[in-house]
Amino acid sequence: MKFLIIGGDAAGMSAASRAKRNMPDLEVMVLEKTHDVSYSACGMPYNIADARRTIDDLVVRQANIFREKQGINLLTGHRAESVDPAAKTVSGRSDAGHAFSFSYDKLLIATGASPVLPDIPGIDLPGVMALKSLDQGRKIKDFIKKNNVKHVVIIGMGYIGLEMCEALRERSIDVTMAELSSDFLPWMNSELSDTVKKEVESHHVRLYLGQGVDRIESKNGRLSVVTPHLALDADMVLVAIGITPNSMIAEKAGIELGVNRSIAVNQLMQTSAKDIYAAGDCADAFHVVSGKKTWIPLALVANRAGWAVADTVCGKPTQLDGVCGTAVFKVFDLEVARTGLNETEASEYGFVPVSEIIKSRSRAHAHPGSTDIWVYVVADQITGRLLGAQMVGKEGAAHRINAAAVALHARMTVEQFSQTDLAYAPPFGPVWDPLLTAANQILKKI
């Protein structure tokens, strides 16, 4: 049997390695259009922050290890261009210009996503960058060094924009950010997002909300980001307004698309075409709280879905429960975390949401070094079910959110969650963990 995989990063290489471990005799071939495989995209902002590090230290496993030690036929510089589900072939072209066509018995599409680049004048100017692939990270790092970049405008205030803002400030680069939405972190409760916004501004970053960018101009060797009310000058512009799934190859093959034009899959990651699976940023998933399809492109689901497809292909059908959108990021001294639904999303999915915000402490009363920690929780007034949580704090928010995520997977009510036996010791939190305090408070509203 031949298992062919398109895409050689998180989902693709997880599937390839797992399949080879499961069935050493299985023929596994991976087509990767770039020359980078199996790297930590998530580590790029932290790597860019440190001029002494090479971007290649983010590579988790080198291509030759996959080939020589694991027996995976990994073809880098091979771009898949079309899939023929009837003939069971994938065709494309190599860097050297050679056309290829490979057959498969089972196919996994793990093509990831690409940064959204607005169709505005100047988007192709030198120094206008985006960050998704390792090569884009490499180019950003080289550009900063060669051009002695002193000022960057970041378009977009999502988590990648904010992580990059911190990275650039770390290198003493002046940062201005512009965002179309008039709300900062619009998915977040405003009390919590105000705290994050103040943290960013306190690091001398200028934030311009409600600013749609019309064009980027080049003037006297510098760039200028132009909105209806502003012209923001920069040596480099980073476009970080979101990503879009690389689903074109599937669409061309007649495969059904789902949320946000990602590839629609069932819980076995099967697409609408026989023997074709999709996993990672290019595919949709079920949301464990709403039960509906969603598209939340993050690393764990890509790795896990890759494993599950490999197990299924190797004869052990493996269904995934789904995702609940658990995500964390750090911006300067704050940890920002979320899982599940906010009130607006909960209403859209037909729940009757109630919410509560509490401010607690990261360590026990009077324990040195204790800092504020904000918790926002959402529950369904009809069933009492916990629907989501968000947290912000200097410490103890990032990992604490996982307790709420587990409660969402277990479909717990707030009452059940309020009875969970969470750990306590003074250096790690108050006796009543901040999540339990939030649960006890929201219980009064249900």
Ligand X SMILES: Cc1cc2nc3c(=O)[nH]c(=O)nc-3n(C[C@H](O)[C@H](O)[C@H](O)COP(=O)(O)OP(=O)(O)OC[C@H]3O[C@@H](n4cnc5c(N)ncnc54)[C@H](O)[C@@H]3O)c2cc1C
Residues taking part in catalysis: 42
Q: Which is nearer to ligand X, 79 or 394 (CB)?
A: 79
Binding mask 8-27 for ligand X (x = CB under 6 A): xxxxx---------------
Q: Which of 281, 284, 356, 380 binds ligand X (CB under 6 A)?
A: 281
CA pair distance 67, 61, nearest whole angstrom? 11
For ligand X, which stretch binds (CB under 6 A), given 227-235, 291-299, 373-381, 396-404? 291-299
**By the 8 A CB rule, do 35 and 61 touch?**
no
The residue among 128, 37, 115, 44 whose CA lies nearest residue 74 is 37
Residue 244 binds ligand X, judged by CB under 6 A = no
Residue 245 binds ligand X, judged by CB under 6 A = no
Q: Cβ 280 to ligand X, closest distance in Å?
A: 2
The residue among 247, 253, 300 whose CA lies nearest residue 278 is 247
Beta bridge partners of 5: 30, 108
Q: Which is nearer to ligand X, 41 or 354 (CB)?
A: 41
Q: What is the 3-state secondary structure (H, E, C) of 181-192?
A: CCCCCCCCCHHH
Which two tokens mark 203?
């690091």
Applying CB under 6 A, what is the total number of residues that bind ligand X?
Answer: 34
146-185 residues near ligand X, rule: CB under 6 A = 160
Q: Which is nearer to ligand X, 7 or 353 (CB)?
A: 7
**Tokens 């680069």, residue?**
173
Binding mask 198-237 for ligand X (x = CB under 6 A): ----------------------------------------
Q: Cβ 22 to ligand X, closest distance in Å?
A: 19
Write down the H helix ranges in 334-400: 343-348
Q: Cβ 36 to ligand X, closest distance in Å?
A: 7
**By the 8 A CB rule, do 12 and 5 touch?**
yes
Q: Which of 44, 309, 341, 442 binds ligand X (CB under 6 A)?
A: 44
CA–centroid distance for 269 within its chain: 19
Collapsed DSSP state (helix, strand, coil) of residue 208:
strand
User: Residue 124: CB partners within 8 Å, gap ≥ 6?
Assistant: none
Q: Which amino acid is at 303?
A: N
User: Residue 115: CB partners within 8 Å, gap ≥ 6?
Assistant: 130, 131, 132, 136, 239, 240, 241, 242, 243, 244
Q: Which amino acid is at 405?
A: A
Q: Which is nearer to ligand X, 166 or 380 (CB)?
A: 166
Q: Which is nearer to ligand X, 305 or 407 (CB)?
A: 305
292-351 residues near ligand X, rule: CB under 6 A = 297-300, 302
Residue 45 binds ligand X, judged by CB under 6 A = yes
Q: Which is nearer to ligand X, 42 or 123 (CB)?
A: 42
Q: Cβ atoms within 10 A of the Cβ of 274, count? A: 11
**Tokens 């969650």, residue?**
417
66-125 residues near ligand X, rule: CB under 6 A = 79-80, 110-113
Q: What is the DSSP string of 240-276?
A: -S-EEE--HHHHHTTPPB-GGGPBP--TT-B-SSTTE
Q: Cβ 47 to ligand X, closest distance in Å?
A: 10
Residue 284 binds ligand X, judged by CB under 6 A = no
Q: Which residues bind ligand X (CB under 6 A)?
A: 6-12, 31-34, 41-42, 44-45, 79-80, 110-113, 131-133, 160, 246, 249, 280-281, 297-300, 302
